[in-house]
Structure 1
Amino acid sequence: MLTVKTPTENKDSKEKKVPKKFITKKTREKLDGWLFVAPFAISAIVFFIGPLIAAFILSFKEYGLLDQTSFLGAKSVGFDNYIRVFNDEVFGKALTNTFTYSLCVVPLQLVIALLLAMVVDSKIKAKAFFRAAYYIPTLTSAVAVSLIFLFIFKVDGVLNNFLNIFGIAPRNWFTEPKFALAAIVLMAVWSSVGMYMIIFLSGLQEIPQTLYEAAEIDGASKLQRFFKITLPLIKPTIFFNLVVSVIGTLQMFDQAYIISKGVGGPLNSTMTMVLYLYNKAFKEGEMGYASAIAFVIFAILFTLTIIQKRLFKEEEAN
């Protein structure tokens, strides 16, 4: 007896013959995503997360840079390294110097940067020239800047020759404890203010000009427009610059290293937290103690950032 296959049966048989894909489209998309992320994830684990965990373990051990054994097999000292940090007089001096430096540099940086940003944002001629002129020092390497200021502040340098006109006796600014840190402050402000100026400039350009025009029609002075319009609307920019500036100043290393030739002198007057960390780790080889210093610095930076964030949030809420 003959059987006739209906079109439906033929269709079903064809569908059954089509092999199922081993990897579905959704799985393939996930796999592609992981493959794209993999280079970053691997580099982060190898160069950031791994060393971070290793340094944290190391901070609880007594380990030297030239020790033959692995740091995992080094002698454990518990919290002794951290206790030693808080009892270390040189670290205390470095902490004082760093905070003094930060308290001087941060306000000067932000105020000067904001003023310069307002100047280059105003209706003046040759705006592009002034923007480039103010920003160029930021592109100069810290080594070059330090060498320039060593030349300016030396005994027979430009500054002393200028002060000599007014009868002021010459002095070697970087070798006197009273003036060494102040000279580094001036150097840091000059070399970094351009970067913060550019960030402030971007914030100023986001403010609608109609607000200023309306305030001017209402009879508001330039000072009133600045405090009532400009400052409130660039608060996020101020917060960003403040956090970056504080973190940058508390991590200051290169200028102090070059000016003091790595010793933080004279009389530890230019010793900073990071310079002390470097000396302990790579000059004296105390990797365990240096790791403890690193995590104390991290805790200080993290705490200050959280405090700044909360203060700005409270001001915005009010």
Structure 2
Amino acid sequence: MLTSAKTRMYGFVFSFLVIPVALYAVFVIGPYAQAFYISLTNWRGITGNPQYIGFENFTRLFSDEVFWAAVRHHALLLVAMPLITIAIALFFSFLLNLGGGSKGGRMTGVFGSRLYRVVYFFPQVLAVAVIGVLFQAVYRPDGTGIINGLLDLVGIAPVGWLIAPDLALWSIMGVLVWQSVGFYVVLFSAGMAAVPKDVFEAAALDGAGRFRLFFSITLPLIWDTIQVGWVYLGIAAFDCFALVQVLSVDRGGPDNATTVLPLEIWRNAFTFSKFGYASAMGVALFFLTLTFAALSLRVTRRERIEL
């Protein structure tokens, strides 16, 4: 009788899983497997059968200066972008949820926190292409640009935000941070909301100031949420094709100062018709992303605090 009940349960679960798993295999695992195969060929993506060339694309890849420039840019993005975004989002989240202090025995956010939540989240509803066009006007290198127009008012010469090799990548990173902060404010606010308010109120009654409340209580209790946010931001740093495509000079310029791997994959595939070489870059990007996620989860792992 028990075996029959288990059989029916497994059959019920299987009937719900078989279609999603099949779709995932066809539309996700299938293209991945195809990309791995194409990376071992010299296929040009138009006509003819791919010719197997083994690891020739990968050998060429590791001697490609543009590829290594893109990897260095990703390394900078992986360090700077998550740190800046998480720091800003945590600061805003703390203000919106606990920054108002204890009022009537309850922890509250700063005045107008509901409005601020909408304002911070607003960039998330804009398409990436729209954000790129918007910041083209912000970063315009002459006095008609918004930032350079403000600098001109105080007597500072216009700055080539997107045409100076030393500034271009940082300028694009600023847009990535601006776009991302709102989502992580919501994410961290949800993490703080999951912590019982009694914990914060007890700490406030014991005389804990905002600094101690944040670093000694809030940060450890939402560490799992921060860990997830760090991984998400790292993956986003590997996937910044659209903004670089729209904002950079000559698609990755000047002088490859802003190029990233997704842009090089697109360029090799659809500009130079080197689909085999582009697939090799895609495979490299796949393993870089997996390595980052695994290392991040390992390095940031800490003992869970139970309440």
Indicate the TM-score class for this superposition, using the shorter chain for normalisation: 0.7 to 0.9
Out of 45, 60, 68, which is 1:84 matched to? 60
Is 1:195 the counterpart of 2:183 in the alignment? yes
Q: 1:228 offset after TM fit, Å?
A: 1.5
Determine the C-alpha separation between the residues in 2 that align with 1:121 and 1:248.
26
Deviates more, 1:262-271 or 1:134-143: 262-271
The amino acid across from 1:202 in the alignment is A
Match of 1:106 in 2: 82
Determine the C-alpha separation between the residues in 1 that align with 2:217 and 2:27.
44
Match of 2:157 in 1: 169
TM-score (norm 2): 0.88
Runs of 4+ in 1 over 4 A off after TM superposition: 24-35
Q: Could you say if the C-alpha distance between residues 279 and 262 of structure 1 is closer, same or farther in structure 2, counting changes exceeding 3 Å?
A: farther
Out of 304, 307, 314, which is 2:292 matched to? 304
| Higher Cα Rg, which structure | 1
Aligned residues: 290
The amino acid across from 1:159 in the alignment is I
Q: 1:38 offset after TM fit, Å?
A: 3.6
Determine the C-alpha separation between the residues in 1 that align with 2:111 and 2:7.
59
Q: 1:258 offset after TM fit, Å?
A: 0.8
The amino acid across from 1:161 in the alignment is G
The amino acid across from 1:150 in the alignment is Q
Determine the C-alpha separation between the residues in 1 that align with 2:68 and 2:294.
23
Out of 130, 139, 143, which is 1:153 matched to? 139
Match of 1:37 in 2: 17
Identity of aligned residues (%): 30
On the 8 A contact 2:129/2:242 being kept in 1, the answer is yes
Q: 1:179 offset after TM fit, Å?
A: 1.7
Match of 2:211 in 1: 223
Match of 1:4 in 2: none
Q: 1:163 offset after TM fit, Å?
A: 0.3
Is 1:126 the counterpart of 2:127 in the alignment? no
TM-score (norm 1): 0.85
Out of 36, 39, 45, which is 1:56 matched to? 36
The amino acid across from 1:82 in the alignment is F
The amino acid across from 1:134 in the alignment is Y
Q: Look up the SS of the partner of 2:192 in the other structure.
A: helix
Give the superposed CA RMSD. Answer: 2.2
Match of 2:104 in 1: none
Q: 1:117 offset after TM fit, Å?
A: 0.8
Is 1:144 the counterpart of 2:124 in the alignment? no
On the 8 A contact 1:262/1:275 being kept in 2, the answer is no
Is 1:135 the counterpart of 2:121 in the alignment? yes
Deviations 1:106-144 (A, max 9, x none): 111101111111121133333221110110111111111
The amino acid across from 1:184 in the alignment is I
On the 8 A contact 1:256/1:262 being kept in 2, the answer is no
Determine the C-alpha separation between the residues in 2 that align with 1:29 and 1:236.
33
Deviations 1:136-183 (A, max 9, x none): 111111111111110111122111110012211113321221221121
Deviations 1:56-98 (A, max 9, x none): 11111111111322xxxx2222211112111110101111122
Q: Look up the SS of the partner of 1:169 in the other structure.
A: coil
What residue ranges of structure 2 are gaps of 5+ in the alignment? 99-107
Out of 273, 277, 288, which is 1:285 matched to? 273
Q: 1:101 offset after TM fit, Å?
A: 2.7
Q: 1:262 offset after TM fit, Å?
A: 6.1
Q: Look up the SS of the partner of 1:99 in the other structure.
A: helix
Q: Could you say if the C-alpha distance between residues 231 and 32 of structure 1 is closer, same or farther in structure 2, counting changes exceeding 3 Å?
A: closer
On the 8 A contact 1:203/1:237 being kept in 2, the answer is yes
The amino acid across from 2:155 in the alignment is G
Deviates more, 1:209-218 or 1:157-166: 209-218
User: What aligned pairs does 1:219-298 form with structure 2 within 5 A after superposition?
Assistant: 219-260=207-248, 263-298=251-286
Q: Look up the SS of the partner of 2:179 in the other structure.
A: helix
Match of 1:211 in 2: 199
On the 8 A contact 1:99/1:250 being kept in 2, the answer is no
The amino acid across from 2:90 in the alignment is L
Deviates more, 1:174-183 or 1:159-168: 174-183
Q: 1:27 offset after TM fit, Å?
A: 7.1
The amino acid across from 2:87 in the alignment is V
Deviates more, 1:169-178 or 1:194-203: 169-178
Determine the C-alpha separation between the residues in 2 that align with 1:172 and 1:215.
49
Determine the C-alpha separation between the residues in 1 that align with 2:171 and 2:213.
36
Bigger fraction of residues in helix:
1
